[in-house]
Structures are given as structure tokens and as C-alpha cells.
Chain A
């Protein structure tokens, strides 16, 4: 029996900022202090507050240490673990109250507004230890389903809960399962889409790293509901920690007989294998994903037939996203009424968002559907840093769109986001401030889709390329008003004619920025100005001769020798040589250089 638990985040974010070394040092120091029988060091999944990593929580006090370095470890062991004195300088400042007391993490703005269902166990249990998952009621839902419920009752429960697919499109999960269950076949499959491809989204990775058994359990439940005996998890090879923990989890579940033959003595067999993806964005599209599992080139095909009729190896298949599966066991245990009491009328439950971009608290948050963008960004996320102003938020990655500041109070759910020209997508939420050029953002996402288009259908292969060319023309200052109109009509053409979701949604970033920030496009074309000062071709650096003291610092730092002038005389920039790197502006101590 340990008297204290030290939880250290072993998610990808904290691991890359050295949490492995912290764990090693902790174990060494604890051993040196003779505390190894009293203090248990646990490597957990992601806590969500990635901006403050590496993160450590010491229980039973619940002290939340942020930005811990390996050098801090001896002090934590000596002071906190040995003598019981909390190391205040390392505490997350939001947990320290003015009267010098420490409040619990759940009372801080970042956590108090969250409602964790899919992320319930992330940062709480050791993902490499099946016993810890079982200790928090893991596999109880599978046991209940196999011993007390019929497959139809399972499907009815999921239908009644109102759960919709968390991968982006928001199709009701229960209906997907009932279609697959209704189709008779000698073999059916359950697949898990862990090919999280949106730039900026990482909730699926976090669930797999922090709570892999929840996905295995849910896949087995889905298998029982539709009559499948084999599952596949299709995961990107770029997620090595998640892959490793999944492998460990599958091995442990097999050892316990929670995967394999005759689970819970019910006669139900189910096993799961992992398939690694090579990181192609298109393989997140369901038909391309299944083609890739079959060992063929990952290209989408025309639907119908839908996977529930003809999926993997031509058999009825259910394919759900990681986050969708992470909700299943909780729905079975707590009942569909509990789940449907959370959220909005048509979007039930919670959604995980990956906060990124110009925001204080970069990280992972799970909020009830219907929470407004303002609550997520200003209250939970801590707002835009460095005194800048919020301009727009991008949801749904390359398939989604921008939400401008004027729509910040829209309650976020599937239907509201579609109505304002964006989409839920997998839940990436990139915050942009007034230094972001919206044309440049559209260009960024188009560059991504041009790279990732599989090339099977012409509207996507050629169309996205033409879109990008027009955007390049506009940002280089050669655009015309006619280009903007062409851009728009080409967007609609691609939307209507592309084969799969990738192409159909690729124009969204352009369309939504045109809808809310058309004036920026026009400024690029008619005034030849980039209002945010991002597009290099339309930006010039100039030195204000009244402010310049002739210190020569800018000239010495200019990488291309574009700045000339003699000592103590105002300098000038030769715009024909200037590469607009901004080094001079950064170095100037007199604020004499500005963008125009």
C-alpha cells in the first residue's frame, strides 16, 4: 500500500519536453530517500494542459506542479515526499489562492468548465496497467453487455443516447451499428479510425495514449452488437507512443481473456489487431481507410455501397472514430438518459477540442456540446496572449472553416457549425489573432489539401491545385477582382463534384474566409496591401528617419545587406534587395522600423 501517488504525464507533449527523464530521476531519488515502498510513481496519459508541461500531480494532496524540469526532482522528493512541504514555486499558479492556500485543480478555470467523459481516465490511470483501468470500472460495461443484454438492446441504448460520430461528419452511431447488424454475412468487422490527420488535432492520440482500454472495450461491445468477431485499429505510424500502449493493452486484455474466445463465458469471440497507416490524410476517409487495411493503395471509392453493407474485404463493417468509442462504455454504465441529458437538442454529450494557435493554454479540453466559442477561448483557454485581439477561430482543420469574432457566442454543436460555414471536424480549434492574414490561412490549408489529394478524381486533383494558384496570385499582389469570383465558383464546383470527403470539404477554408473576410481579399487585390502584414510581396519595411538614431544595428543584422546608411545618420532599406524577413524590425531598439 502506497501512501502517496506521483502522477507524471507521459503524453506526447510532455514526453517531448523530457517527462521520461523526470520519471527516471524521480524513481532514483525516491529510492535514494528510501521511500520506494511508500511512494508510487505512475506514468499517465495526457492531462490536457499541454502548454504547462511537463506536468506532475502528487496525491493525496493533489498538488499540481507545472513546467517541472529534471533538476526540480530532488527538491520535490526532499521537500514534498519526505517532509510533506509543498514546493510552492512549482505549483500551477491558478491553483494558488491569494490567501496562500492551494485549491484543487478542478476549481481552476481551465478544468472547472470541462466535463470529461471521453477523457475521464486520461491523466488519472496508468495506461499500461489493465488493473488500473479495471479499478475505475473498466470492462464492466462489456461484462454487462455480454451477460445481461441482447445485441439489439445494446444498439437501442446507443441510439437512445443520441451519440453522433466524433470524427467529423456527426452521423448517429447507433444507426450505423443497426445498419451493420441488419446485414447478414458470414463475417463482419469492427474498425477504429485512429488516422487522425487534421493539423492541430490530437485528441484521438491522447485517448489512445491515456486510456487505450476504453477503445478496446467499446470495439468489443460494437462487435457484439453487430455480430463481428474481428476488429482492426487503423492508426498512424507517426503516433509511436499510442501504438506501443495499444499493443500493451491488447496483450493484457488477451491475457485476462477480455479479448479472445468465449469472453465472460458468453460464447462471444472477439479479437483486435493493429494496422499502421503511413500518414496519408485521405486514409482518414472511411472507404480509403478500409482499402488501405486490405493492403491496397489508400484511395476512396464511390459510396454507396456504404461500409455497413459492403466494407472491409467486402463484408459489413462498422467504422467509428477513437473519441466516439471512448464514450461507449460510459453510456452503457450510466444509461442513455444520462448521456442525452448533456449537450444540445441534436448534439448530445461532450466534445473534445484541441486548442492551438494564439491562445494562452494550448491543450486538450472536453466541454458539453453547446458551450460557446467565447467560453472555450476566453475562460478555459485563457484568451489570446501578448495583448493581441482575437480575430477568428478555425475549426475542423483543412475541411472546416473560420468563425469570426462576431460569432463567438454561437453555441458549438454539429448543426450550428455547419450553419455558419464551418464544421465540427475532429475538433481541432486553432485560434488566430490580428497578426493573421486570412488569405494566407486559406492558402496554408489549400497547400495541405493539394499535397494530400490522392489524385483519383479530377475535381480534387486539379481543382485544388487551381485554387492554390489563384490564392498565390492574390497573395503575390497580381490578383484581380475577377480572380476572387473565379475562386468562389471553382470552390462550389469542387464541393459538388469531388469523389470523397477530402475533396468535397477542401474548399471550405476558402469559402468561409471569403464569407467573413472578403474585404481582406479585396485589399490584397485592389489596394495591393496585406492588412495583417503577413504576405511578403505586399509588405514593405520602412525606416522612420525621425526615429532612426543611426545605431547601425539593423544594417549589421540584415542577412542580405539591404540596409545602408552611415553612423548616426538615418538608414534606408533597399526594397529591391529586401527579403522581408523582419530581422531589422525585431532588433531595432528605437521602434523606428515598421511594416507598410
Chain B
């Protein structure tokens, strides 16, 4: 039910309060609207009940296991929230003078430094508002770098076919053409195909490591050398950074520019579209091109020393600004607090337990008859099972399994991605979950398998217990207009 459907003419939130004359008296008549704006008219209690009831329909990390592959839906420690909401942070105005924002800026400076440290990069800019914007900034820097060198014939970005869809989209948005590099059945990039594809037209390669297939790219050093020898740069998509956190660093693998989804790896709340943070790190040679602002530090000696924002004056070659002010400040603070809580030792444990949990689940599912997409290799922090046999023999698809999981109290994993694997579920348990939860999820998949064998039709109509049942996906894709209008068509 929509809030508008609770509406009754003249009903107000403060129903018992004295009403009096509510017409504003000091606004010129010609500026007053002639008709009411068509807002819902409800009591405060109706509004509270309506939105509370909507919130109770949420299927979220706070209520359910949420193994959405490549999204790292880990627990968001509440202490990060509490500290980021201290009044000094919360009430700080983004236009306040630097000398009144030294505490916040110190946090941002240290966040830049910690990110450099844990990724092996030389500089970090926190301003991109999401992963995709971080990608855009990163590839824009690759372009700016080649342009600054007068190297204007580099028009191609190489992208493995296992990549996230944002990679080719980013390259296209930055004016490059995309060349796809195939992946071997082992999950590694086809290096022979890469050799044939690199050349003087190569601006760079965008790589996710571990890849979306949930395996580590073993030939990364050779790949880095191939691309660098051809004069290209290496872009690291940080979507899967959780797998290697504290263990190895993209900078050490040879990457020139990376984005890190702070809302994944560093545990700020996400889902439902944001807010996110796609902070980007660069190697030394890309530092002049970083998007602004970046926090710089001058050791305290005289009045005015301390932390300050670098601007276009300091960095004339910068690709510019990605957001108003300094990015999603609240998200950045939560990531900062999370990193300070973990420390280097904690970050290593994140990588280790994320990987252990994924491999434990993969082993359990294989033992119960499920087919892993890459069965001979260890998984990273996520792994893929393919249900192509079930689709063929039982006419039950990965989507049917995913929908039925909702009935059994689990958020579905990522479905039908990566595109290379038919009928796949991409499962990422994260380090947050206890063994009991992982076991429960395995048992749920086993139960659905038994249901598929006994009564496939039952699965075709799942879910049964959710506020809505099977959605009309064709209509959802075609009729995008969701705006409510007081005037009925």
C-alpha cells in the first residue's frame, strides 16, 4: 500500500494540536501556488506505521544471511556508526574553514595513508562517490597520463570477458574502445590472446583479481609486464579486494591505479544503491592526475600549518572533481573507523576468514553433489556453483533456486553472473558469518535440490512467503515509470 492511499483530505500530523491560521503571510501573492502540491495527508501515527511496516519488509544484512557474490555484504560494526555520528563529525559544515575541520581532515588524511599502505599505492583520493565513479576517475587518469605524454594513439582498453559490466562501460565513457580478452577454463586470463591483443594502441588493461570467477589470477606478474612493455597501464578493479586484504597488495602486483569499494571491503552500510565510496589509489606516475580534493599535511610549526585540502592550484594536471566537497564524508569516516579498529593484523584476518568461509562452503556443496564452476582450484572469497545439470534434467533454473532460498530465510546469491558460467550462483559468505550459518545455507540448497527432484513446478512459482511472489521481470524491464501521480491515467 502506498502512503498516498492512506491519505484523507485535511488530515494532519499534529491532529490534536491547535490549528490556527497556517497561511504564510509574508510571501507575495503572485508566488503562492494555486493548487495544493498533492502530498499525502496522513497522521503522524499513520506515517510511522507505514514506514515501519515497509522497513520490516526489508530483506537485509541486519536480518538475514546475504551471500551476494562480488558485493561483500559483511556485517557493519555498530561502533563505526556511533563514532561517525559524534557531534563534532555530524555537525561539521563542509564549507567551514580548514582550521575548524582539522579533526575530520586528520581522519581523512590517515585514511588516505592507510589505504596506500594496505594496497601498496603511492597516493589516494577519496572523492569518488561509488565504485563505478572510482573506475571512471581511474580510467580518466589513464587517459590524462597518455595525453600528457603526447601519446594520443592509445585508443584501446583491454578487458577480460569475466569482468564486471562496469569495466567496459567505464572505458567507453572515457572515450576508449574495448577489446575483450578471453578467459581459460582454469579461470586465468588467456595470456596468448593477451599477447596478440596488446600493442601501441593499448591504453591499459582493467583487471579484477581475484576475478569474478572467484579465483586468483596466477599470471598477474606476466600480465603486468606484457601491458607495461607495450606502454599501457594496469587498472585494478577493487570489487574483490576483501579476498586478499592484508595478504598481498595490488601495488606489488604491478597495478598503476586501483579503486577500492570502501562500502564493501571496509564495511560501510550498502545495498539498495548507496551511498558508496570508490576511493582511488595511484602509483607515483599518476599522482599529478588524481581527482581533487586530497588532504595534505604540513607538520605543525607555525600558525596555519596542519591539514589542508589540495586544490587545482596545487595540482594543475588533476582530472578535476568527482563530487561536491570531498565525497561521501560519512561513509569515509565509517571506513576509517573500521580500519583503525582492525589494524594490520585484523585486516589479514578479514582476508583469511573470508577465504576460509568461501572454501568451506564450496567443499560442503561439492560433497553434497553440487557442481563447482572451477572445481580444481581453491576459491578466493567467493565461488560459483553451476546448476546447468538441474536446468537440463529437471527444468529447474538458477533463478528458481534463488527465489526458493528467500522462502528458506536466505538472501539469494548473485545469479547469472559472471556471464561465462551458465545457470550460476556466485556465492560470497564474507568473514562475518558463523559456521552454523554457512551450514544452514548448504542445507537449504540441499533441500531445494530435493524439492527440484520431487516437484519442479513448486519451485517455478517460489517464493511463497515474501510480500510479493514471482515478479514479472519483462514488465519490470520495460515499464520503468514508477512515479505516482494524483491524476489517474
Q: Do A and B bind each other?
A: no
Residues of B within 8 A of A (CB): none
Which A residues form the contact surface with B (CB < 8 A)?
none
